[in-house]
Structure 1
Amino acid sequence: MAWGRSKAPKPDEATLISSLKDAVKDEPQDSSFVVDDACCKRYLRARNHDLTKATNMLRATLRWRAAYGTANIVRDKFPIIEKEAATGKTYVAPGRDKDGRATIIMRSKHENTNDHDGNVLHLVYQMERAVKACDAEEKWNIVIDFNGYAKNTPLKTSKAVLSTMQDHYPERLNKAFLVDAPWLFLGAFKLISPFIDPVTRKKIVFVKGSAEKRAAVLLEHYELDQLEKAVGGASDYVYDAEAYLADDRAAYEAAKPERVASLEEVPVVVAA
Structure 2
Amino acid sequence: MEPLLNSATTPRRTPSFKEDTYHLHNLKPSEKKALQELKDKLTATSDATDASMWGIPLFPTSEKADVILLKFLRARDFRVQDSLNMLVKCLTWRKEFGADNIVDEDLGFKELEGVVAYMNGYDKEGHPVCYNAYGVFKDKEMYEKIFGDNEKLKKFLKWRVQVLERGIKMLHFKPGGINSIIQVTDLKDMPKRELRVASNHILSLFQDNYPEMVARKIFINVPWYFSMLYSMFSPFLTQRTKSKFVLSKEGNAAETLYKYISPEDVPVQYGGLSRPSDMNTGPPKPASEFPVKGGEKVNIQIEGIEAGAMITWDIVVGGWDLEYSAEYVPNASGSYTIAVEKPRKMDPTEEAVHNSYTTKEAGKLVLSVDNSASRKRKVASYRYLVRKSSVVM
Match of 1:4 in 2: none
Match of 1:230 in 2: 269
Q: 2:85 is paired with a residue of what secondary structure?
A: helix
The partner residue of 1:32 within 17, 41, 54 is: 54
Q: 1:170 is paired with a residue of what secondary structure?
A: coil
RMSD of the alignment, in Å? 3.2
Q: 1:132 to 1:216 in 2, by over 3 A?
A: same
Match of 1:119 in 2: 156
Contact 2:222 2:250 in 1 (8 A): no
Contact 1:46 1:170 in 2 (8 A): yes
Counterparts of 1:1-272 in structure 2 under 5 Å? 12-25=30-43, 26-27=47-48, 29-30=51-52, 32-34=54-56, 35=58, 36-74=65-103, 78-80=105-107, 82-83=109-110, 85-86=112-113, 88-93=115-120, 95-111=121-137, 112=142, 113-114=146-147, 115-135=152-172, 136-149=177-190, 152-183=193-224, 198=238, 199-208=240-249, 210-211=251-252, 214-232=253-271, 234-238=272-276
Shift of 1:23: 2.3
Shift of 1:14: 3.7
One-letter amino acid of the structure 2 residue matched with residue 60 of structure 1: K
Q: 2:35 is paired with a residue of what secondary structure?
A: helix
Measured in 1, the distance between the counterparts of 2:276 and 2:107 equals: 22
TM-score of the two chains, using structure 2 as the length reference: 0.50
Contact 1:88 1:239 in 2 (8 A): no
Match of 1:259 in 2: none
Q: 1:159 to 1:150 in 2, by over 3 A?
A: closer
Task: Indicate the structure with greater helix content.
Answer: 1
Match of 2:350 in 1: none
In structure 1, stretches of 5+ residues that fail to align are 1-9, 244-272
Q: 1:164 to 1:33 in 2, by over 3 A?
A: farther
Say which is worse superposed, 174-183 or 10-19, in terms of deviation. 10-19
Shift of 1:89: 0.9
In structure 2, stretches of 5+ residues that fail to align are 1-27, 59-64, 281-393
The one-character-per-residue Cα deviations of 1:214-270 (angstroms, maximum 9, x if unpaired) are 4443333222222113224x22322799x8xxxxxxxxxxxxxxxxxxxxxxxxxxx
Shift of 1:46: 1.1
Shift of 1:92: 0.8
Contact 1:87 1:110 in 2 (8 A): no
Bigger radius of gyration: 2
Shift of 1:86: 4.3
Shift of 1:167: 1.2
Measured in 1, the distance between the counterparts of 2:156 and 2:225 equals: 21
One-letter amino acid of the structure 1 residue matched with residue 79 of structure 2: D
Shift of 1:170: 0.7
Measured in 1, the distance between the counterparts of 2:107 and 2:268 equals: 29
Measured in 1, the distance between the counterparts of 2:160 and 2:88 equals: 21
